[in-house]
Structure 1
Amino acid sequence: MIVLNKPLTPDLTKLTANLSQVNESGWYTNFGPLHQQLTKRLEEYLGVKNLLLVSNGTLAIQVACKALNINSAITTPFSFVATTSSLLWQGIDTAFSDIDIHSYNLCPTALDEALSQDNNYDGVVATHVYGNPCDVQGIAVVANKYNKKVVYDAAHAFDVKIDEQSVLNFGDASTLSFHATKVFHTVEGGAIVFKHKADYDKAKRLINFGIQDDGTLGEPGINAKLNEYQCAVGLTLLDDIEGVIEHRSTLFTTYRTELEGIVELPVWHEQASLNGAYMPIYISDRNRQESVITALKNNDIQSRRYFTPSLDLAYSQQKSFGCENSQRLANGTICLPLHNSMSTSDVLKVVNIIKHTLKDEF
């Protein structure tokens, strides 16, 4: 079977050595030695500063918004449910603005139109969908025009760069998920990269119950720290992550080359590097979608409609500024298998089944 996703497996010898350090020190959580090592190595590898490890990607979004005093936000309807549910769970007044039909990301023009109608929002929460960077310059222009904070959900964009600059350095904060299904993981976990040190310092207090540096209590916080065992997994996997991303990117490029003209594909940011996080395709006709999914399933190949439904429909009680593009893409986007354990021959097998199924189209 070719599975949709397969988590990276840590080398047990290396992992055991890292775990032994934890047992020897007796420091299992609360910003321990491995937490400090992983923070430093990730900052160096990703080319960022002010990186704060947290216990998962959902809390990363919530803590980022709390640190930036975002109590109301406009977000994308085309993303994993956690992008929106994390905001709603925290009581953030949330509205939806449409996406660009080509990139699948939050559209700066639509965002401008939305804010021109209703400027009563503190911030913007945008997702780099499938690891394809948003139009960060366009969003920055709109955010500056209306004086809004920007948080990027970069759960799919680990190690992605725009013109050699980490995508995590755009906006006021960028959040990462280190869930087991991601390109890089700590089983469960995440991180926030802040533009400003003061926001990082505030967030670090918030994830430790709001306890101040001197031990006194300040603003109420929460427990969102990443423990040492999970940091041990991260340190182990980080040793080999460069090769993993290179391999996944090669598979991704092969897919897109072979499927060009057969199915519709998102238009990728021209200045962006690749990380091979996901392989989305779009098929407008519902019957052809089902034919492809069925053909893949019959050949023991997993696929997934990702993302559906459009979140403005799932959370219809929230304000929407019109999300026709998102609704269209949510009804026809399918993700194909892509992970480090796959080979080029696996990709070609998937491609050939799709080509055979859709042969009447070309």
Structure 2
Amino acid sequence: MNSKRKSIFVTQPSLAPLEEYTDLLEEVWKSGILTHNGPKVRKLEKDLENKLNIPNFTLVLNGTVALQMAIKALELKGDIITTPFTWVATISAIKWEGCSPVFCDIDPDTLNIDEEKIEGLITKDTVAIMPVHVFGTACNVEKIEKIAKKHNLKVIYDAAHAIGSSYKGNSLLQYGDISATSLHATKLYNTGEGGACITTSSSLRKKVERIRFFGHNEEKEVVEDGFNGKMTEIHAALGIANLKYFDDVLKDRKEKYLMYLDLLGKSEKLNFQKIKENETNYSYFPVIFSSEEELLKVEKALNKNEIFPRRYFYPSVNTYSKILNHQPTPISEDISKRIMCLPLFYNLTPLEIEYIAKIILEKLEH
């Protein structure tokens, strides 16, 4: 590879041709409507419901706000059992809504919350379970639902990575009382900044809609304790433009994921997230090294060649001592030190993937 080639970062947004986006922006300009549940927002909600074959898709400002709105809509106050192997936003949302995170360790193969350990953490103060579909790979939604029903708990899925993922032929976003997804620029499908709440009932959707607009009902009376969680027409227009290419991006991501796996899968020094073909969207390619030392050695070699992977998720969130009291989760704490996501995005070329894999394998061999 040419040493003067461009840098390769862990991800890059998948974007429609600029002229297709600007055509939509011209319509926004002509309408004079930039926000307040405008026509582009309503269209994108309907388009996504049709595309994913799910009801009650409510667009919001971002994925973190979506989580907060889910907690608020379900009127939760107490302990929420969640995973430590996640982005800090999962915990921020819980804390901002006046609840307390209780950490359940992860399954070392799937990297999702270990559903076998959830019941042991349930107390009289537990109000909900908030699992994360890590890297877009489905949690054991049936087992989690069974536990929740047994103990009269709500389930909110942090489905930040999960748009395009499915479970038994259905969109993964339709599980739980509410699923909160992210449409951030780093995600497989994006609106630049954005997110959504997907609810199990139309009445709950109406509540989410009131919360995202300061608690107003359709008569503009304030009937909820809400805030400003609205998506703008600018972001919705980008989502409409990008949705046209959603299937192409999904197909491309799977092909590149499998290419990485073919190139790196024979190494005895590397492990990979356990996935089922029909229960993931292949949105990330995480690699688990035998030690943190090996990871750092490979990371340094890649950086030297202008390749910048990312240590998702490091450190394990339960170790954030400035904002939390430590609750031990040894599996998450161990894996978080040894895992790294390799570059994976639409414009990444097969030649670049081969080059990245070559550097990794050579460094591990020596």
Common topology (TM > 0.5)? yes
Matched, 1:336 2:342: yes
Q: Which residue in the other structure is 2:88 paired with?
A: 81
1:93 aligns with 2:106: no
Alignment-mate amino acid for residue 73 of structure 2: A
Equivalents in 2 of 1:143, 1:284: separation in Å? 35
- The reply on whether 1:104 has 2:104 as its aligned counterpart is no
The 2-side partners of 1:270 and 1:144 are apart by 28
TM-score by length of 2: 0.94
Q: Which residue in the other structure is 2:154 paired with?
A: 149
CA distance in 2, matches of 1:315, 1:144: 33
Task: State the percentage of identical aligned residues.
Answer: 32
> Would you say the 8 A contact 2:320–2:326 is kept in 1?
no
Matches within 5 A, 1:129-208: 129-208=134-213
Separation of aligned partners in 2, 1:131 and 1:216? 38
One-letter amino acid of the structure 2 residue matched with residue 49 of structure 1: P
- 2:137 corresponds to which letter in structure 1? N
Per-residue Cα deviation, 1:236-267 (whole angstroms, up to 9, x for no partner): 11111110111011101111222224211111
Aligned positions, number: 357
1:2–1:253 Cα change, 3 Å: same
Shift of 1:316: 7.5
* Gaps in structure 1 of 5+ consecutive residues: none
Q: Is 1:56 paired with 2:55?
A: no
Residue type of the partner of 1:296?
A: L
Equivalent residues of 1:246, 1:275 under 8 A apart: no
- 2:50 corresponds to 1:44: yes
Distance between the aligned counterparts of 1:224 and 1:279, measured in 2?
31
Offset, 1:320: 6.5
Distance 1:183-1:343 versus aligned 2 partners, 3 A rule: same
TM-score by length of 1: 0.95
Match of 1:216 in 2: 221
Aligned partner of 1:2 among 2, 8, 16: 8
1:302 pairs with one of 295, 308, 312: 308
Following the alignment from structure 1 to structure 2, what is the Cα–Cα distance between the partners of residues 246 and 231? 23
Shift of 1:317: 6.6
Q: Please state how far the C-alpha of 1:305 moved relative to its aligned partner.
A: 1.2
Q: Give the distance between the partners of 1:14 and 1:299, measured in 2 at CA.
A: 35
List structure 1 runs of 4+ shifted beyond 3 angstroms.
Answer: 315-322
Q: In the alignment, which residue of structure 1 is the partner of 2:4?
A: none
Q: Is the 8 A contact 1:114 1:321 kept in 2?
A: no
Superposed CA deviations along residues 186-205 of structure 1, whole A, max 9, x for unmatched, are: 11111110012111111100
**Which amino acid in the other structure matches residue 255 of structure 2?**
T
Structure 2: which amino acid aligns with 1:214?
A: E
Amino acid at match of 2:217: Q
The aligned amino acid for 1:256 is L
Return the offset for 1:105.
Answer: 0.5
